Amino acid sequence: MRVLIVDDHTIVRDGLRAVLSAEGITVIGECASGEEAVVTAARIRPDVVLMDLRLPGMDGVSATREIVRQGVGKVLVLTTYDTDGDIVRAVEAGATGYLLKDASRQELMRAVTAAARGETVLAPTVAAKLAQWANPLTNRETEILRSLAAGRSNPEMRAHCSSPRPRSRRMSCASSTNWVYETGQAP
């Protein structure tokens, strides 16, 4: 298996190379920016690209989108960021998986191997967040998100957020605001 590592921190790239190499995986390249990753992936055609999200210049999501568009490798995001917005953007860009940098060596190896086979790989916290968003919103929740996106005031939103539905299905104003802010969209 051939892997391209994309991370702007040399120490992280060195550590990943050591771990992967010790497990018999060939690291065929390293990049510190999104632009470099796109060019390098097209040239060396890795089986898996380990992609950080926050990179100088072209970010990891944009680089992922371009690498997937070119069909030159499966992209496994490996990052410290697990916000809803980061996850949604990476998945929408075509990432095969999303792993956090606190993963164990064994989790990393399983994820890289699975990504090379085209299988979806998600850190447990990431899977839980995606599952939460996979549940369709109620009409009321959709109305709340649209109101937030339209810039309603806090008192107006308090009126919208108080509803008789059970607390377990209730989307808080804070989580709604956070989702709209992170994704830049409303349903």
Q: What is the chain's pLDDT, residue by residue, as a tens digit (187 residues)?
A: 999 999 999 999 999 999 999 999 999 999 999 999 999 999 999 999 999 999 999 999 999 999 999 999 999 999 999 888 898 899 899 999 999 999 999 999 999 999 999 898 888 888 777 766 666 667 666 666 666 666 666 566 666 555 544 444 444 555 555 555 555 554 4
151 DSSP assignment: T
Closest CA relative to residue 13, chosen from 2, 37, 29, 25: 29
For residue 168, what pLDDT is reported? 41
Q: How many CA atoms lie within 13 A of 23 on its CB side?
A: 20
Q: Where are the alpha helices (H) located in 71-168, listed in sequence order?
A: 84-93, 105-116, 124-134, 139-149, 154-161
Task: Tell me the chain's radius of gyration from C-alpha atoms.
Answer: 19
Can you list the domains of the chain with their CATH numbers? 2-132 (3.40.50.2300), 136-183 (no CATH)
Model pLDDT, residue 187: 46
SS3 call for 101: coil
Q: What is the edge-to-edge ordering of all strands in the sheet holding 74-79?
A: 26-31, 2-6, 48-51, 74-79, 97-100, 121-122
pLDDT score, position 85: 86
